Amino acid sequence: MKKTGADILVQCLLNEGVEIVFGCPGGANLPIYDAMYRAGVRHILVRHEQGGAHMADGYARATGKVGCCMATSGPGATNLVTGLGTANMDSVPVVAITGQVKSWLIGNDAFQEADVVGITRPVTKHNYLVKNVDELAQTIKDAFHIARTGRPGAVLVDIPSDVQLAETEFIQPREVSLPGYKPRVEGHPGQIQRAIDALNAAERPVLYVGGGAISSGACPELLELAEKGRIPVTCTTMGLGAFPGGHELSLGMLGMHGSQYANNAVQDSDLLIAVGARFDDRVTGQPETFAPQAKKIHIDIDPAAISKTVPVDIPIVGDVRDVLVQFNRQINREEPTEWLNQIEKWRRQHPLKWKSEDGKLLPQYVIHRISEMTQGNAIVASDVGQHQMWVGQYYRFNRPRHFLQSGGLGTMGFGLPAAIGAAFAGLPDPVVCISGDGSIQMCIQEFATAVYHRLPVKLFIINNGHLGMVRQWQELFYGNRIMASDMTGNPDFARVAEAYGAVGLHVEHAEEVDAAIDKALSTKDNLVVVDFIVEPYENVWPMVKPGTAINDMMGTISEMA
Ligand SMILES: Cc1ncc(C[n+]2csc(CCOP(=O)(O)OP(=O)(O)O)c2C)c(N)n1
């Protein structure tokens, strides 16, 4: 039986296991909306397509499934760009479906026309313009395969409205048709053996773990390796949760705002095993000075990530989980007691701690209480800025897929929609968003989406009245010339929340913090927004000055005392 392109698309989405679509309709994708209506697809109307892309992304980060979002042609499609770039930089599987003007109008400056395939090429893993209805089913199959395999990423499929309306025989393709795309799954046995020998011989090894460990599902294997080999573990912000934060071998986060002890351990190590991490400049500081004495092993599914910024000695291209299974079979090491004692000494000398002053409500304290009161079990989406780094430092993540944040692109506006996407996944853990007064205003319209669907998202705004991270850099590196980072003119966020139908709370004193968090956690059928008015000039410490070595940190506790 013949079907329209729109019906075929919807059937293909269902066959790919899509349970929910986040989007906004328009003239160029109405046939798809009509087909979704008839098929009973669960669709969430977003207030801005950027929010839709972040929701699909948050859903994917929290569940490991492919997230799906939709937009009309032109401005709808261009509004997706930031969200697709955000997902793609962090290797999150998202498929975006955009409507396009009719095939014969493409290139004619038609109403609501944009070359979205051209515009999104640099920010997606792959993208397609479907010119013929007969190619549609195969394209969707290939798009989902590309999004979820290898190094996962964002894929966009642009479908002109005449292709949506055209009819053809629907045959569900069985195989993907991508002869040139064969992501390597098994690491090279010779390289793995070299790496295992190096590990067995190392005296000061460190595991440096990124988001790839989470997306490949390698966390149990990582724990086994660390425990068997007694290897300390430090995580990038993307890797937090891959290894239990409370474990004695956990060093927490490394890099620009990591702990001094994590950075010292990396810099002094004789073997660094990078596990699904990409040697980002926020981690390495000046690349030439990064872990100078260490032999470097890099396990990653993406060959393009190997030796991109820091040369590695033993590259292993393959699925992180598969490779760690092989490590665990052959690991045979003595306890590196001296090394672990040295790290303990650094931990005692430079603890991660804030300086409490009477009466001031400090952001670190608020985040510490959120961590304690949720026992490290919440799914926490954060935005971008100082609060994001404090979450990395003071929220003790126990499990993977519980920290959703824009690590690569650093997208303000990501947090709330990502939390909404995660909340739609219906997981048992509470969903929390920790945002800043600057970031929240970049997607604040999604309050409506959360309230309409009675989602129990808890939004904690760390309100310092500034674009705090920018202000910190201006203070430290631009002679305290505060330009364009003062947020005077902010609305009363609790009242904005109420105007949308959410619960709004206002907190200015430390004694009120627990009651507000408690109220948020116990509200099961609505968005709760807590506006924490915190000390405006607090800085994130410690900090590596850009362009220096990562153990050369400003503001560690021993210095401040
Ligand atoms: C979309 C976007 N625009 C600009 C920036 C640059 N930027 C990085 S952090 C930051 C300040 C964030 O302020 P806020 O959300 O209030 O968080 P805080 O640093 O105060 O915790 C800015 C403007 C960005 N990361 N993303």
pLDDT digits (tens, 9 = 90+) for 499-551: 999 999 999 999 999 999 999 999 999 999 999 999 999 999 999 988 899 99
Count of alpha carbons within 13 angstroms of residue 334, beta-carbon side: 8
Rounded Cα–Cα distance for residues 156 and 438 (Å): 29
Average pLDDT, the chain: 96
pLDDT of 559 reads: 52
The token duo for 466 is 């500034």
Q: What whole-number percentage of the chain has pLDDT above 90?
A: 96
Evaluated on CA atoms 350, 353, 358, 360, the torsion sign reads positive
Higher pLDDT residue, 482 or 546?
482
- For ligand 1, the distance from its centroid to the CA atom of residue 262, given in whole angstroms, is 25
- For ligand 1, the distance from its centroid to the CA atom of residue 390, given in whole angstroms, is 14
| Residue entry with tokens 């945002």 | 435
The token duo for 130 is 């479907």
pLDDT one-digit tens code per residue, 278-311: 999 999 999 999 999 999 999 999 999 999 999 9
- For ligand 1, the distance from its centroid to the CA atom of residue 385, given in whole angstroms, is 5
The token duo for 320 is 């992180």
Higher pLDDT residue, 347 or 332?
347
SS3 call for 352: coil
pLDDT over threshold 70, residue 229: yes
CB atoms closer than 10 angstroms to residue 488: 6
- Bridge partners, residue 379, by sequence: 431
pLDDT one-digit tens code per residue, 340-367: 999 999 999 999 999 877 779 999 999 9
Residue range 254-272: average pLDDT?
A: 97
pLDDT band with cut points at 50, 70 and 90 for residue 558: low
Q: What whole-number percentage of the chain has pLDDT above 70?
A: 99
CB atoms closer than 10 angstroms to residue 60: 30
- For ligand 1, the distance from its centroid to the CA atom of residue 199, given in whole angstroms, is 40
| Residue entry with tokens 């690569």 | 408
Residue range 135-152: average pLDDT?
A: 98
pLDDT of 561 reads: 41
Cβ(413)–Cβ(436) below 8 Å? no
Q: Supply the DSSP string of 9-47, one letter for each residue.
A: HHHHHHHTT---EEE---GGGHHHHHHHHHHT--EEE-S
- For ligand 1, the distance from its centroid to the CA atom of residue 241, given in whole angstroms, is 24
pLDDT of 556 reads: 79
Q: Please give the number of the atom of ligand 1 that sits closest to the Cα of 487.
A: 16
- For ligand 1, the distance from its centroid to the CA atom of residue 263, given in whole angstroms, is 25
The token duo for 550 is 């990562």
Tell the residue nearest (CA) to atom 4 of ligand 1. 412
Cβ(395)–Cβ(367) below 8 Å? yes
Residue type, 23: G
SS3 call for 132: coil
pLDDT of 557 reads: 65
Task: Identify which of 90, 364, 412 to mutate to test ligand 1's pocket (most ligand atoms within 8 A of the CB).
Answer: 412
> Which residues, in sequence order, are CB contacts of 137 under 8 Å at separation 6+?
8, 12, 170, 171, 172, 173
pLDDT of 357 reads: 77
Q: Is 254 exposed, middle or buried (0-12, 13-18, 19+ CB in 10 A)?
A: buried
Q: Please give the number of the atom of ligand 1 that sits closest to the Cα of 383.
A: 15
pLDDT one-digit tens code per residue, 421-462: 999 999 999 999 999 999 999 999 999 999 999 999 999 999
Tell the residue nearest (CA) to atom 9 of ligand 1. 385
Rounded Cα–Cα distance for residues 21 and 73 (Å): 17
Q: Please give the number of the atom of ligand 1 that sits closest to the Cα of 462.
A: 21
Residue range 383-400: average pLDDT?
A: 97
Residues flanking ligand 1, CB < 6 Å:
383-387, 410-413, 436-439, 442, 462, 464, 466-470
Rounded Cα–Cα distance for residues 473 and 470 (Å): 5
Identify which of 480, 483, 525, 531 has the alpha carbon closest to the alpha carbon of residue 504.
Answer: 531
Rounded Cα–Cα distance for residues 332 and 269 (Å): 19
SS3 call for 517: helix
Pairing of the two strands 2-4 and 167-169: antiparallel
Q: Please give the number of the atom of ligand 1 that sits closest to the Cα of 472.
A: 19
Q: Please give the number of the atom of ligand 1 that sits closest to the Cα of 468.
A: 20
pLDDT of 545 reads: 87
Rounded Cα–Cα distance for residues 385 and 289 (Å): 26
Evaluated on CA atoms 369, 357, 551, 227, the torsion sign reads negative
pLDDT of 356 reads: 79
Residue range 205-216: average pLDDT?
A: 97
Rounded Cα–Cα distance for residues 368 and 240 (Å): 16
**Per-residue buried b or exposed e for 28-57, using 16+ beta carbons within 10 Å of the residue's own CB:** bbbbbbbbbeeeebebbebbbbbbbbbbbb
Residue range 36-57: average pLDDT?
A: 98
- For ligand 1, the distance from its centroid to the CA atom of residue 487, given in whole angstroms, is 11
Residue type, 232: P
* Residue 503, H or E segment: strand 503-507
